[in-house]
Amino acid sequence: QVQVVESGGGLVQPGGSLRLSCVASENITSFFAVRWYRQTPAGHRELIASANEGDLTWHSDSVKGRFTISRDNVKNTVYLQMNSVKPEDAAVYYCNLARTIHTALKNGDYWGQGTQVTVSS
């Protein structure tokens, strides 16, 4: 079983920045995709960023230009740099690993426990 641990959440002011980290217990190059989801208090879960094989990255329209996903393969860590944070970015952020394109099309294979991001002045 792969362990996935997120960190870096907390309180941030509107317009501020935060960096989330996700550490995996297995070499992340063995995964087809490493991704960030978020779930709002209303229960809506959204895929917001993905880093795939070949260093391809994707960001949802809701965070494009403000958030950036990156990975450090040596540290087995995935990052989410959050800039120009908005109140609607408040959510629990989850890291997700998918071994193959097939599992990536579903819900991936492994999830972390989530890290809370609160946006308030």
Convert the pLDDT of each residue in 70-91 to its tens digit.
Answer: 999 999 999 999 999 999 999 9
How many other CB atoms are there within 10 angstroms of residue 73's CB atom?
12
Q: What is the mean pLDDT of residues 2-18?
A: 97
Cα–Cα distance measured from residue 53 to residue 65, given in angstroms and rounded to the nearest whole number: 21
Residue 54 has pLDDT above 80, yes or no: no
pLDDT attached to residue 69: 98
Give the closest residue to 95 by CA, choosing from 30, 51, 62.
51
pLDDT at res. 91: 97
Q: Pick left, alpha or beta for residue 27 (phi over 0 → left; psi -120 to 50 → alpha; otherwise beta).
A: beta
